[in-house]
Amino acid sequence: MATKIVVIGMGYVGIPAAALLADVDGHEVIGLQRRSKRSGWKIEVLNSGKSPFEGEEPGLDELIARVVKKGTFRATDDVDVIRDADIILIDVQTPTDHQNVPQYLSLREVSANIGKRIKKGALVIVESTVAPGTTQHVVQKIIEQESGLRGGEDFDLAFSYERVMPGKLIHNIVNLPRVIGGITERSTQRAAELYSKICKANIRTTDVLTAEISKTIENAYRDVNIAFANEMALVCESLGVNVYEVIDLVNELPSRMMHIPGAGVGGHCLPKDPWLLRHGLYEYGSWKVEPEFISLARRINNHMPVHMSYLVENALKARGRTVQGSTITVLGAAYLENSDDTRNTPAALLVGTLVAQGADVRIHDPYVQKWEFGPQEIYSDLEEALKGSDCIALVTKHKEYLDLDLERLKQIMRTPTLVDGRNVFDEEEVRNAGFEYRGIGKAGVLRQ
């Protein structure tokens, strides 16, 4: 008899997980997706055997087509499919609000839906990143209240975090180590057995709270290190030194691995997970500890798009212009190269800051079709986006931007200035082409 699996949430985590599980012999997988204006269209796309993602995702298109053709995967909005599920994966978003407090509306709704329909003996796995303590204090409690069953006795529950990123969805699930923490030893082992069928890397088992903490610390660690690199980039700019040369010199020491600065940190994880860690600490910690590093890192990284706007202003000033009345073309709406993912993209704050200063802002992105953060349209034609423009502000390192014809762009732009937020361009080459150049962490900024 086939193992029936329901994956709730057809996003960047749920879709590749569901497709991989559906490719395992003996599995029947259903992707459960709410039919909303924002994402309900994914149901029909998936059932046609296609991926809804516009960015490059090696292997995903072929995998979805294969499992749909085999009849082992389909998508639906019918929550009653939970009733027959042997295994349920929760892959819904867990955003934070403007006060950096987690918003568990979807997580609570899904947990209630599971509780009302779960069958005895089912295994529930939370893959959504949550504040430490949430699996037991929120998900387990809601399922128990709605079902009358007891976690660890009548149903199993585990937390196993994803390490996916756009562009590497399949690769990361299959090839990166998997951490699993259950509320009981049986819960842990059942989850480990499931993931062993799709994960080639090491599977580490622990308790549920340790697994939750590991996920949030993992991303907080990276956020802090990026913030250090960003702060040092500002230091180098002020002193007239190229931070990338400094990074090369520092990283020659084997015990050092300085990160790369840039126009800002985006995505669903890094801007949010440090706050989830803090929330879990505040809610369930034994005493008050103030995590100052992660709070400071968030402020530094959130400032980088604003600093980009300063570099735009500085470059325009060198050519006798102000931001007000200028046309600025932002290259990249997605937060990550070669992806269509705009969640928490630094381009949003940069565009908003420039518009507030009176600029006419155009946005170009080869993968993103719609701008959700304002009235601006996204241009698909690069020359159209740059015609008559006064400044290029590169936010995203899409492959399409790695070999631009600067001589051609100079001819169609009104004012040839370029602000490089991802160290894509050779500064000497850009200046020789007649552009005013500014870059994150590089010399050349006009003194005020």
Residues annotated as part of the active site = 215, 269
H or E element in which residue 328 lies: strand 327-331
CA proximity to 209, closest of 104, 132, 141: 132
Nearest to 94 by CA among 271, 302, 266, 337: 271
> Residue 225 CB: number of other CB atoms within 10 A?
15
* CB-count exposure of residue 292 (10 Å: 0-12, 13-18, 19+): exposed
Q: Which amino acid is at 143?
A: I
CA-nearest of 77, 137, 139, 80 to 112 is: 139
Lateral strand order in the sheet of 27-32: 73-76, 27-32, 3-8, 87-90, 123-126, 156-160, 178-182, 203-207
Kindly state the tokens that stand for 125.
Answer: 């796995």
Q: What is the full DSSP assignment across 373-403?
A: SSSPPEES-HHHHHTT-SEEEE-S--GGGTT
159's tokens: 């937390």
Q: What are phi and psi of 294, to 5 degrees?
A: -70, -30
The total of other beta-carbon atoms located within 10 Å of residue 312's CB is 28
Give one DSSP letter per residue of 120-184, joined into a string: TT-EEEE-S---TTHIIIIIIHHHHHHH---BTTTBEEEEE-----TT-HHHHHHHS-EEEEESS
What Rg, from alpha-carbon coordinates, does the chain have? 24
Distance of CA 392 to the CA centre of its chain: 24
What is each CA distance from 390 to 364, 422, 446, in whole angstroms? 15, 19, 18
Hey, is 214 helix, strand or coil? Answer: helix
Distance CA 229, CA 235 (A): 10
Tokens of 304: 């980088």
